[in-house]
Each structure stands twice: as C-alpha cells, then as structure tokens.
Structure 1
Amino acid sequence: MFNNGKKKTLKTRKPCSIALLVLKEKKPISVLTTIDRMNKRVLITGTPFLDEDKNVVQVLTIIKDLTELFVLREKLEEVEKEKAKYLSEIKNLKKDIKERQLYKDLISKSSSMDRVIKLIENVSKTDATILITGETGVGKEVVARTIFKNSKRANGPYIRVNCAAIPENLLESELFGYEKGSFTGASQNGKLGLFEMANNGTILLDEIGEIPVKLQPKLLRVLQEREIKRIGGTSNIKIDVRVIAATNLNLEDEVKKGNFREDLYYRLNVIPIELPPLRERKEDISLLVYNFLGKFNKAYGKTKDFDITALEILENYSWPGNVRELENSIERLVVIGDEHLITRNTILSVLGQDKFYEASTETIDGTLKEAVDKFERNILEKTLKSCGSTYKAAKILGITQSTVVRKAKALGITEW
C-alpha cells in the first residue's frame, strides 16, 4: 500500500515497480510475473485512488499467488496432449481395423497372395475392367466381391452372372433384357437385363470363357460403347457399369482355338489378376484351416480342434480343388464324428485313406534313423511352437516332460 507517495518496503521490488507505474499512469495496472527465488507465479495488481484534483493519493497493490493455477494449467495441457495422442492412435487403429475388415475374406500370409492383395488395393479405386484367372476353387468370386466392397461403387448393386450355368438360348435375354412381345413366351411387360440391373454398380461375368461366340460381339459393344440394346428393342440404352470377368480357362489358348474373340479378350484383360493355386501357397493352409474350423465350430455348436499330425496331412496334400475343397473338407471333419480332437486317423477315415495316404507319408531321404530323427524333430518343434511350453507339449504328445526336454536337446531344438 502506498500513501501520498510514501511506500512500504517489500521483499520484492516488483510491487514497487507496479506502484510507480500506477502513480505515473494514474490507472489500474496488472502484471503477471515470476518471483524467482520463491519460484512463484504471481499476479500483481495496482489500483490508484484519486483526490478531487485527479491526483493519486493512494495505490492499493494486491499480490495473488497463481502458482497452483499455473501448475494445474500445465497438467491440463499435458493431459490434452496425451488425449490428442491417444485420439490419433485410436483413429489409426480404427483405420487399420477397417482396412483389415475390408480384406478379411482374403486370408493369407504368403508372398504370392500379398502381391495379389496389393494389386486389389490399387485397382479397387478405379473403374478399370478386370480379368481374374485361376484354377477352380481358388477364390475368384471372393476377390471380385472384395474389389467391389472397396470401390467407389460399393453402395451400388453387385450382380454375379455364371455364364456357364445359364442355357445358351436364355443367356442373351438374361444379360441384355427384352422388350414386351419380342419373342414367343416373352413377358408382356418386357424384362430388364442384368447389365441394366447392375447400373451404377458392378457386374461379375463368372466363367466368361463359356460365353457363346455369337454373343461375344454384343458383350464387346458393352465394353466399348457402354451401352446395350434389349432383344426386340430399337434404341440403345446407356449404362454405367464396372465389368469384372473371371475364368479358369486360358483365354489366350481359347483365342487360338477360335472359341473366344481376340478383341474381346483384350477389352477384358485391362487389369489381369491371376490367383495362385493352394498347392503353391502352402503357408496359407493352416490359416485357412483354422478360419474354417472357427466358422464351422460356431455354425454347428462344436469345439473341434486339430492335432499336429492332422495339420501335417492337410499341409502336405495338393488340394486340386483349392480353397473350396479345403473348406468343404473342414466342414465334413467338424460335422462327422464326436471326438474333440481331429487326428491323422480321423482325416484318413472321414476324407478317404486313398486320397490322403500320400500326403500322410514322406519319402525317406537318407538312413531310417535320419528319417525318424527328422520326423521327430518336425513334430516336436511344431508342437513346442504351437503350445509354448515343454509341459503342454508333453501332454499333447503323450510323453513325459523330461522326455520332451531330452529329445529337444538331442535334436538341437533350442527356440520355440
């Protein structure tokens, strides 16, 4: 407090400075400052009291300790930073989850399928025509649907046409539709074709290699002009459709044989996607097995599981029917039999001994002892890796824990 220019002595000179400023300016002044030796953040406010002649007769100086408030503010800022960090992480996790869900049907860890998935990610964003090739059962329709789900047309219709399943005399009317009364037996209201039904969406022409030669020019026109003409119609109808085709045939060979138009082949083969057979990506088999096992356990209220010997057979089998054959086989193994654990013998019994016998045996390379050691090492190593402990491995293999430890040491298994 200052009175008539006389001041009380304070330990800090800051209030004095404020008072002098107030005396000079003749108005209230506030300053936020730090008292270093006390490590305090304070707000110093000086308020003048004036006489009738507007002279300062008194200055009231108030010091408010704001240290705790500033500490709280700093903590709040730290919390806000952490919050922003976690929100960013959550956003990224949601993005990752969304991306995983979009490609959840393409179960794989093989490099060959990784390349396919990367290609799918790129082409899904475009409207380019795609030709998916591969053996029967490799998942061509799954890939086509995944492309559709990840495209800008995902909210539009998705129409799948099996060109091999529709009789030749009906295929044209199914694809392109017809006007009323255009032929005997035609509906009096006419009919929309599948291309029109797929407008603003995607159409999958599955088994495109089976389409009759006489229909191929009309399909070529769709790809070139983006328009169709109904049977019995007189005008062209514009359509906005993305075309995906799929086949298990070699269309280049079909072109040479005269069964497929060369110009149509090139129109379809803008973006080729070739799916590898399951025998060429054996590392994916165990992933697919457990995916199908979970699916069918849930569907049939079961709790089945596979032992190591069963997985060995499934991984060694060539799977000529590819993923479809594998899926059907797992469903059969889940449905048939009451045993919780599916073993080698279960597979040979349920799926056929002749079919899987070769996959259940190995060619002996070297002496019998070397072959036995190799087999023991393989089984023991896989069991240890799958369960993570010698105790659990012993329980699964039906031997003592000390035997597991001794054999692992003898066979040079040090990590699992």
Structure 2
Amino acid sequence: MNLEKHYLSILESLHDAVFVVSKDSTIVYVNQAYSRHFGIPSNKIIGRRLTEMEPKARILEVLLSGKELVNDYSYVHSLRKDVCANLTPLMEDGELIGAVGIMKDISEVMALQEELKQYRSYSSKLERQLYQQEFSLLDSKNFKMLSVVNLARKVAATEASVIIYGETGVGKELMAKAIHEASSRMDKPFVPINMASIPESLFESELFGHEEGSFTGSRKGGKKGIFELANGGTLFLDEIGEMPLNLQAKILRVIQERTFQRVGGTKSYPLEVRIITATHRDLSEQIKQGNFREDLYYRLNVVSLHIPPLRERKEDLPFLISTLLSNLNSKYKKYGVVTPEVVDILTQHQWPGNVRELVNALERMVAVSDQTYFVTEDIPEYIRLKENSSEKAIPIQLVNSGNQDQNLDGLMEKTERNLIADALRKSKNRTEAIYKLGISRKTFYEKLRKHGLL
C-alpha cells in the first residue's frame, strides 16, 4: 500500500479540523472537517495569509520558533471560537517550510466551564447566606451573647473541639449546628445525641455500634453507631457531663487513636469527625469531685462557649419573639402577631426553661388562638397569672418546729417535698408545676423519684 497516495484521503476522513500554512503564513490546505466546524468553505480561505486574517494566531509563533505547541488553548477572533490545537512545524531537508495545525472546537466546553464557574459563585453566595442564616437565629443585643456568637463564628472555621455551656433550653444544639453549618464540614452529617437519654447499658452500642450477635437483642446484620454515622462530619454530644467514667475512658481512647471498634467486633474503623459537646454542669467542679476525667476535659475543651440564660438577656426577647413567631406562623399557616402588651408580659417572665420554654409558649398561642392579634388572654395561664397578678408564693407546710430532734438537713428535705407536692396539687399538669417551681424538667423528675412522688 502506497500511503503517499492516500495522505489527502486520510486528512479528509479526520473529525478534527486540519489546516496547513506555508512559511509566509499563506493557508495552503484545510480539510472538510475545518469547513464543517467553522462554517467556512475551503475556497474562501485557501490562498489567504493568516497574518491578515488572524494576526495573533498561535501557529505564527510556530513559524517563528520552529517549535511545536501541544494542547494549546486559544481564542480565534476571526472564527469566534475557543480552540484546542496541536501545532507542528513542517520541515524539509532541515529547513522550515510551513506548519500544520489540528484543532478541536471547544467553545461549548468553555461555555460550560463559565456556566459552572457562575454556579459555583452562586453556590458560594448561598453558602454565605446559609452561614449568616444559621447564626442569625443567635443574633443578640446583649454584650455577653454577642461575644459568644462572635467567638463561635471564629471557631467555626477551625477544627477545634468545642464545649458549649448553658442551662437547659438556652440553644446549645442550635449553636453547635450553626458552627457545623459555617464550617468546611457543612455538606457532611451533623449528628446530635443527648447522653442523658441513653441507658448506661446501651452507651457503647449507641456510640460505637455493634456486630450481629454481639449481645441478646442485637440487630441482625449489626448496627452503625453515632461515631460511624457522623464520620466526616460533626458529632454533637449533648449533656456530656452525664457520661459514666468507664465510657469516658473509651471516648478518650477513640479521640486519641482516631479509630474505634463496634461492640462484639475486632475490625478497626478510621474516625474523621469533629466533636462538639455541651453541658449544663460545671465540668471543672465535676473533675474535682472525681466525676469527670481531666484528660478528656482538656481534649474536648479547646474552646468553651458560655451561653447566658434568657433572663440575663431580656433585650433579645422582642427579636426572638418576632423570629420564632414568624417560623411558627409558617408552620401553622397563620399570620398572628403579638400586641405590645403581650411583649411586655413575656419580657417580665423569668423564663426558667429559656428559649425552649419561649418556643413552647408561643407555639401554644399560635396553635390555639384564632385571632390575628395575640392578646394577653392568649398567653399561657401560668405566665399570665404570675406576671399580671403577682401570683402569691406557694405556701409551704413546714414540719413541726416543736420537734427538737429535727436537724436542718431533715427539715430541708421535708420542706422541699412539701413544696413540690403543693405545686403538683395547684397545677393543671406537671409542666405547669415545673415552671412554678423554677427548676429544669430533669431536676424536677429527679426530685419526684427522690421523694416518692412519681
């Protein structure tokens, strides 16, 4: 087979555009693909000088240097196309006689890249808006709260472990989620778990998962634990102060070694997770009492955030009421607004249950009321009576003071029992009793068990 006779046929069969220029840049050949891709008949271009058509054509550099250009990207103004070309000098007896170019039209690819760039820019904008939205729920006019939120914004951009301190209901999980959403892990899982809600016998199984048959009642096929579910993302351990010491040692080992094993298994799973914890307890005091490991504390407490209770930042109540009411209106498809009198009464309340109690009170108002404007009668009775009528203190039936053998501890125990029992009698339900007593739900039930009132 004489290939020389078939060179033109080969060039014409190519799907890529081919053109050949002489030493003086005159176009001497273009194949059919060139005409097809760029819409220029060969007789309209052959014989013309490239220096006149496209003065900045890259192939002119090849004619000057005698060196090829491979995978060269450029924009051809005369064609109004983005192209990728391989440009090669043509030599005869060691002398440059011209150059050949093989080009692909990549205009669509470049357009897609530009579109992708715009989408990425838009995505970044949405991410920034989401970041602002997450922390907007924590916006405050209170100096202490502002300082906490600003520190949280800073730490969100790092991988530092965080402990969030605060009373029940102040929004510790909301703070943890805001940190996660503003971090580089925002597209990975955020897995919250309340340590106080897990029976001690199930701690390890819940945290690390278990293999099939590892214990009676274990799930067929095994089960992933929360460490495994949160891998790559953020694990939020709420009420970390309730964790028993033996489990604290295992958590510490997992954090140090960055691996864990399921209960009943031997396979080690790699761990790549950010840990945020929260507690209402004073962990430094817990350490002194021997209830919390000091080494684990320093692993978890790289940065500490102390969220003040709602009663210490009442200047935030109008904003919180407005924001929460807007969310609840959307949930219940209503358009309720509060009157200034309602805001005044809600602002006077001490909110022992913090933001969680506020949400509960507002949701009751939205769910029950048929009015567009919420008035004082719509406020939950336990708040309205206490704030508007200066509700009298619950009378306490003291033990017989004539009993000379009664010591102070015994007197306080019986007084506490009488106080709780009286609150239960005078309240419609236990929730109202909790609010009247001004204690957390967890503490309330602990004392019910302690005094045999359950």
Range class of TM-score, shorter chain: 0.5 to 0.7
Aligned to 1:171: 203
Q: Output the CA distance in 1 between the equivalents of 2:207 and 2:123.
A: 43
User: What are the within-5 Å matches in structure 2 for residues 213-252 of structure 1?
Assistant: 213-252=245-284
Compute the displacement of 1:122 (Å).
Answer: 0.9
Aligned to 1:104: 136
User: What are the within-5 Å matches in structure 2 for residues 59-74 of structure 1?
Assistant: none
Q: Deviations over 1:181-206 (max 9, x none)?
A: 32233234222221122111111111
Q: Deviations over 1:77-129 (max 9, x none)?
A: xxxxxxxxxxxxx9999897455224233242322222112111111111111
Name the aligned partner's letter for residue 356 of structure 1. Answer: E
Change (3 A) 1:283 1:180: same
| Counterpart selection for 1:147 from 151, 172, 179 | 179
Q: Deviations over 1:62-82 (max 9, x none)?
A: xxxxxxxxxxxxxxxxxxxxx
Q: Output the CA distance in 2 between the equivalents of 1:93 and 1:236.
A: 39
Asked if 1 retains the 8 angstrom alpha-carbon contact of 2:166 and 2:308, the reply is yes
- For the residue of structure 2 that corresponds to 1:103, the secondary structure is helix
Aligned to 1:308: 340
Change (3 A) 1:346 1:97: same
Aligned to 1:275: 307
| Counterpart selection for 1:356 from 387, 401, 408 | 387
Compute the displacement of 1:157 (Å).
Answer: 1.4
Change (3 A) 1:221 1:304: same
User: What are the within-5 Å matches in structure 2 for residues 2-401 of structure 1?
Assistant: 97=129, 99-347=131-379, 350-357=381-388
Asked if 1 retains the 8 angstrom alpha-carbon contact of 2:237 and 2:278, the reply is yes
Compute the displacement of 1:237 (Å).
Answer: 2.5
Asked if 2 retains the 8 angstrom alpha-carbon contact of 1:314 and 1:359, the reply is no
Q: Deviations over 1:291-343 (max 9, x none)?
A: 12212223223332222222111112111111111111111122223333323
Q: Deviations over 1:36-55 (max 9, x none)?
A: xxxxxxxxxxxxxxxxxxxx
- For the residue of structure 1 that corresponds to 2:163, the secondary structure is strand
TM-score between the two structures when normalised by the length of structure 1: 0.60
Compute the displacement of 1:159 (Å).
Answer: 1.1
The higher relative CO (CA closer than 8 Å, separation ≥ 6) is in 1
Aligned to 2:99: none
Compute the displacement of 1:346 (Å).
Answer: 3.6
- For the residue of structure 2 that corresponds to 1:203, the secondary structure is strand
Name the aligned partner's letter for residue 355 of structure 1. Answer: K
TM-score between the two structures when normalised by the length of structure 2: 0.55
Change (3 A) 1:153 1:355: same
Change (3 A) 1:295 1:239: same
Name the aligned partner's letter for residue 193 of structure 1. Answer: G
Asked if 2 retains the 8 angstrom alpha-carbon contact of 1:317 and 1:356, the reply is yes
Q: Output the CA distance in 1 between the equivalents of 2:124 and 2:261.
A: 48
Q: Output the CA distance in 2 between the equivalents of 1:148 and 1:179.
A: 30
Q: Which runs of 5+ in 1 are unaligned?
A: 1-89, 361-416
Change (3 A) 1:211 1:95: closer
What root-mean-square deviation, in Å, do the aligned CA atoms of Structure 1 and Structure 2 show? Answer: 2.6
Asked if 2 retains the 8 angstrom alpha-carbon contact of 1:307 and 1:343, the reply is yes
Q: Output the CA distance in 1 between the equivalents of 2:264 and 2:241.
A: 26
Q: Deviations over 1:152-178 (max 9, x none)?
A: 111111111111112111111111122
Q: Which runs of 5+ in 2 are unaligned?
A: 1-121, 392-454
Asked if 1 retains the 8 angstrom alpha-carbon contact of 2:211 and 2:265, the reply is yes
Q: Output the CA distance in 1 between the equivalents of 2:124 and 2:223.
A: 47
Q: Deviations over 1:353-381 (max 9, x none)?
A: 44333679xxxxxxxxxxxxxxxxxxxxx
Name the aligned partner's letter for residue 219 of structure 1. Answer: I
Change (3 A) 1:196 1:144: same
- Residues paired across the two proteins, number: 271
Name the aligned partner's letter for residue 128 of structure 1. Answer: A
Q: Output the CA distance in 1 between the equivalents of 2:283 and 2:208.
A: 23
Compute the displacement of 1:142 (Å).
Answer: 0.3
Change (3 A) 1:350 1:91: same
Change (3 A) 1:125 1:96: closer
Name the aligned partner's letter for residue 368 of structure 2. Answer: I
Asked if 2 retains the 8 angstrom alpha-carbon contact of 1:209 and 1:260, the reply is yes
Identity over aligned pairs, percent:
45
Task: Tell which deviates more after alignment, 170-179 or 279-288.
Answer: 170-179
Aligned to 2:406: none
Change (3 A) 1:317 1:192: same
Compute the displacement of 1:235 (Å).
Answer: 4.4
Asked which structure has the greater CA Rg, the reply is 1
Asked if 1 retains the 8 angstrom alpha-carbon contact of 2:188 and 2:232, the reply is yes
Change (3 A) 1:105 1:115: same
Name the aligned partner's letter for residue 205 of structure 2. Answer: S
- For the residue of structure 1 that corresponds to 2:191, the secondary structure is strand
Name the aligned partner's letter for residue 357 of structure 1. Answer: N
Name the aligned partner's letter for residue 172 of structure 2. Answer: K
Q: Output the CA distance in 2 between the equivalents of 1:266 and 1:143.
A: 21
